[in-house]
Amino acid sequence: MSRQEISTDEWISNRHTSRRRLMACAAAALAAGGGVVATGAAAAASSSSSPSGTVSLVAYSTPEPAYLQLVDKFQQTTAGKNVKFSYSFGPSGTESRNVAAGQPADVVNFSLATDMERLVKDKLVSSSWNSNTTTRGMVTDSVVVFVVPKGNPEHITSWQDLVKPGVRIFTPNPFSSGSARWNLMAAYGAELKQGKSTSQAQSFLQSILSKTVAQSASAADELQAFVQDGNKHDVLLDYEDDAIQAQRSKVALSYVIPPQSLLIENPIAVTTNSKNAAAAKAFVTYLLSPAGQTEWAQLGYRSVRPAVEAKFRTKFPDPKGLFTIQYVGGWDSIATKFFGATSGIVTQIEQHLGVSTSSS
């Protein structure tokens, strides 16, 4: 092992340490009483134009390490200097359903637009959440990649390589994880991009899922399972940003952007029942600002702002066959066609394989 790499146990320990730091910050904020940290003389001394109090952030699992740094950067700004945070990270679908069921949230950041739309239907997020013509409600972009052991011992370069004899696939469970749905629709769309028929693309999905050896609840858990397994024949379907974050943590892995890949778009919004709307809006404004988007990019995420995206274009090359979710029908159609409770294409494949399709 080189000096630039760490062991699997060290990496997992570091991830747990980051989570403990996040939770410690949350506990400290809550212990201050009602989530408001600036009280008495301190409150009087704070600028009336600077929001204060605690922001409850509920998000999908992957950006948890990034938020540790983004929150710190925000708190160094005038708008964020008096703001504290509490956190909840987990599978995108699970987090969305939890908020719908009453979990407090000021800011929600999911993997899928459908998880945001669930809250729109419950009037917990404004129906105009995606009305900005530049960002369309998204805070980050990414692409689906193949994560492989360092050096890519199986020489994985294309989607067809995933179904070679001996290759072991990792992807989360699509009935809890937004990442898994992006992964599977990337596989399906890649087949169409290569001129295959819809029936051939569906058969390819079945081949992918048949070779999948682990389906964790979230992308973060699936990455951990992949790293722990340590088999040279393993391939993990994942967000590009997740692979970059792991490399930044000196985990010994490589990743490949396939010739055909799906543009991942992750939504964000302030909830309509936010207990601290001023601070929540200030935080989202920072995340979408040129400064915030530059921080995201430095952490491995593709920017939703064209000017920032242009500055990092060499770091984030687009595959020749890049496509959006609209190419395969859009999430509203996909949710029923592929992941419907009884007749969904993926639902039926997973049930035939004995994999849970419960969303609980």
Across the chain, mean pLDDT equals 89
Angle, to 10 degrees, between the axis of helix 277-288 and the axis of helix 64-75?
A: 110
Burial class (CB in 10 A: 0-12, 13-18, 19+), 46: middle
Q: Which of 308, 354, 323, 311 is nearest to 135 (CA)?
A: 308
Question: Tell me: the pLDDT tens digits for 173-188?
Answer: 999 999 999 999 999 9
What is the pTM for the complete model shown?
A: 0.86
pLDDT tens digits for 12-43?
454 544 444 444 444 444 344 333 333 333 33
Q: Residue 104 and residue 19: Cα distance in Å, rounded?
A: 19
Torsion 1-226-199-92 (CA) sign: negative
Confidence of residue 358 (pLDDT cuts 50, 70, 90): confident
| CA atoms of 353 and 284, how far apart (whole Å) | 41
pLDDT at 164: 96
Complete domains list, the chain, with CATH = 8-140+264-311 (3.40.190.10), 142-263+318-353 (3.40.190.10)
Closest CA to 295 of 257, 241, 249: 241
Q: Scanning the structure block, which residue is given the tokens 């274009």?
A: 313
Percentage of residues in the chain having pLDDT higher than 90? 84
Instruction: Report the SS3 class of residue 254.
Output: strand
Q: How far is CA 309 from CA 19, 65, 175, 219, 313, in A?
A: 29, 21, 31, 24, 6
